[in-house]
């Protein structure tokens, strides 16, 4: 029989969880607003911004609670890194009981935002909307195994127009040490920080927004980690058994050249062209996990290739890597491509299973946004933006701890956090007077 989770028992675990994390806040007077903020994020509600949460957690003193929570999230000088480290120290051992950490997953997420004054807002691609629009974009790093995943780093991408504008930086409180970085550069910094704190994983996963960046892939390799990253169909590759021409022989005049070469008849090909030329025998059906209604499967080819991007500046060809290609039945051409530095004897099934583990970060963002209000912060400053995200991740960690505390056959009850009744005469600021 599955373990039944009582309200009092769950509230007790929530209090114990908050108490463990509170040591990272620096001051004892931050413990109460920390607990209230996390409780507000976990409670049901359409908006998880400060004022509605204050009304839900302390309905008898909404104004005072609002001021306390606002100061805690927007002004208080506590460390996001310290709190995230405390969450990681608490949750990773629980995850490890269901299996080792398989992957470090890199991704970014966009939060639509009206106006131009909130930190980092610019017209840029927003995945939530599926188009270019006003939004903030943050880069994150998650650790994942087959049973759970947890974000361990989260940082706002600051577009160059913002990074180079002293007045906007000052108004938003952007720290002096924050300079313009591309999203792949931010992600590499997050990976370096994770490795420095002894976070271990079998591989790094990322989509084509990162995998197309050759410097990003090289950066992962320099860190000593293998990867499986998405690439575009136009990515240039040397097909199996092919590589660039050797440097030109020295003719006895001028400086000898050491650069490998191409010529008119010896060129790399786009990944799509290579895939379409493969025989039918190259494609095999692979099943990677159970979906909500059926087992997930598709057709895949796996080849040993050499990436070709700007290799004419190199003296030796790039090492061979796996190129994994998916071509679902019924599609007119392949739909996804990956490059991987996993060992040459890695099976096709393991390549597919690992590449598809990236769905975990999509689940992270779905829960963080829909359940915990990741995109609901209404402040404009750098500190508040990151504090709110850290608190969302802390609340998410509690949800993971509750799931991991229940046997696989047990019920997945939503953890109970004490909910108060909102006074009938409560009206959020700015809303119209019903009278």
Domain boundaries, the chain: 7-208+361-404, 209-241+266-360
> Does 432 have pLDDT greater than 60?
no
Q: Is pLDDT at 344 greater than 70 in this prediction?
A: yes
Residue 116: the pLDDT is 80
Give the length of the chain.
Answer: 435
Tens-digit pLDDT profile for residues 79-126? 999 999 999 999 999 999 988 999 999 999 999 998 888 999 999 988
pLDDT at 24 over 90: yes
CA distance 251 to 193: 49
Average pLDDT of 332-352? 98
On the question of pLDDT at 388 being above 90, the answer is: yes
> pLDDT of 146-184, one tens digit each?
999 999 999 999 999 999 999 999 999 999 999 999 999
For residue 7, pLDDT over 70 is answered with no
CA atoms of 240 and 262, how far apart (whole Å):
16
pLDDT of residue 199: 93
β-strand partners of 183: none
| Residue 277 backbone phi and psi in degrees, to 5 | -85, -5
The top-scoring range by mean pLDDT among 54-63, 252-261, 294-303 is: 294-303
| pLDDT tens figures, 264-319 | 899 999 999 999 999 999 999 999 987 777 789 999 999 999 999 989 889 899 99
* Torsion sign over Cα 245, 246, 249, 254: positive
Q: Exposed, middle or buried: residue 273 (CB in 10 Å: 0-12, 13-18, 19+)?
A: middle
pLDDT above 70 covers a percentage of the chain that reads 89
What integer pLDDT is reported at residue 12 of this predicted model? 87
Does position 1 have pLDDT exceeding 50, yes or no?
Answer: no
Read off the pLDDT of each residue in 350-378 and give the average, rounded to a whole number. 93
377, 288, 360, 363: which is closest to 324 by C-alpha? Answer: 288
Q: Which of 176-190, 277-291, 345-359, 399-413 has the lowest mean pLDDT?
A: 399-413
CA distances from 26 to 40, 76, 77, 141, 314 (A): 21, 10, 9, 25, 50
Instruction: Determine what percent of the chain is predicted with pLDDT higher than 90.
Output: 73
**Per-range mean pLDDT, top range of 2-11, 19-28, 44-53, 228-237:** 228-237
- Alpha-carbon separation of residue 32 from 254, 376, 415 (angstroms): 74, 21, 20
As a three-state string, the secondary structure of the chain is CCCCCCHHHHHHHHHHHHHHHHCCCCCHHHHHHHHHHHHHHHCCCCCCCHHHHHHHHCHHHHHHHHHHHHHHHHHCCCCHHHHHHHHHHHHHHHHHCCCCCCEEEEEEEEEECCCCCCCCCEEEEECCCCEEEEEEEEEEEEEECCCCEEEEEEEECCCHHHHCCHHHHHHHCCCCCCCCCCHHHHHHHHHHHHHHCCCCCCEEEECHHHHCCHHHHHHHHHCCCCEEEEECCCCEEECCCCCCECCCCCCCCCCCCCCCECECCECCEEHHHHHHCCCHHHCEEEEEEECCCCEEEEEEEEEEEEECCCHHHCCCCCCCEEEEEECCCCCCCCCEEEEECCCCCCCHHHHHHHHHHHHHHHHHHHHHHHCCCHHHCCCCCHHHHHHHHHHHHHHHHHHHHHHHCCCCCCCCCCCCCCCCCCCCCCCCCCCCCCC
Q: Report, as an integer, the average pLDDT of 123-131.
A: 88
Tell me how far apart the alpha carbons of residues 375 and 67 are, in angstroms, rounded to a whole number. 20
> Phi and psi (nearest 5°) for 86?
-65, -40
67 alpha-carbon distance from chain centroid:
31
């Amino acid at each position: 029989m599955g373990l039944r989770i009582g309200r009092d028992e769950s509230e007790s675990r929530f209090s114990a969880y908050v108490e463990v994390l509170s040591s990272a806040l620096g001051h004892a007077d931050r413990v109460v607003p920390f607990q209230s903020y996390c409780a507000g994020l976990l409670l049901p509600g359409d908006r998880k911004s400060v004022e509605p949460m204050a009304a839900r957690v302390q309905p008898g003193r909404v104004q005072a609670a609002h001021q306390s929570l606002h100061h805690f999230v927007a002004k208080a000088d506590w460390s996001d890194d310290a709190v995230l480290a405390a969450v990681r120290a608490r949750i990773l051992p629980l995850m490890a009981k269901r299996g080792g950490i398989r992957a470090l997953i890199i991704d970014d997420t966009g939060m639509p935002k009206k106006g131009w004054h909130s930190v980092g807002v610019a017209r840029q691609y927003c995945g939530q909307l599926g188009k270019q629009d006003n939004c903030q974009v943050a880069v994150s790093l998650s650790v994942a195994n087959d049973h759970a995943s947890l974000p361990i780093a989260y940082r706002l991408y600051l577009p160059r127009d913002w990074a180079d504008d002293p007045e906007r930086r000052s108004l938003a409180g952007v720290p002096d040490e924050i300079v313009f970085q591309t999203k792949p550069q931010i992600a590499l910094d997050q990976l370096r920080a994770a490795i420095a704190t002894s976070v271990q994983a079998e591989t790094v996963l990322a989509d084509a927004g990162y995998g197309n960046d050759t410097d990003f892939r090289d950066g992962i390799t320099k860190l000593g980690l293998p990867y499986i990253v998405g690439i575009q169909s136009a990515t240039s590759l040397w097909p199996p058994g092919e590589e660039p021409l050797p440097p030109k022989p020295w003719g006895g005049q001028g400086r000898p050249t050491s650069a490998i070469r191409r010529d008119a008849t010896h060129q790399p090909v786009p990944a799509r062209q290579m895939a379409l030329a493969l025989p039918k025998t190259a494609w095999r059906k692979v099943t990677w996990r159970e979906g909500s209604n059926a087992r997930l499967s598709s057709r895949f080819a796996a080849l040993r290739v050499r990436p070709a991007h700007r290799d004419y500046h190199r003296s030796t060809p790039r090492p061979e890597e796996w190129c994994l290609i998916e071509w679902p039945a019924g599609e007119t051409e392949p739909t996804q491509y990956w490059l991987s530095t996993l060992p040459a004897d890695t099976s096709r099934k393991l390549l597919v299973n690992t590449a598809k583990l990236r769905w975990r970060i999509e689940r992270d963002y779905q829960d963080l946004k829909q359940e915990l209000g990741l995109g609901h912060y209404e402040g404009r400053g750098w500190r508040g933006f990151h504090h709110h995200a850290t608190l969302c991740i802390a609340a998410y960690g509690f949800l993971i701890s509750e799931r991991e505390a229940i046997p696989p056959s047990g019920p997945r009850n939503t953890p109970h956090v004490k909910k108060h009744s909102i006074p009938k005469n409560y009206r959020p600021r700015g809303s119209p007077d019903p009278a």
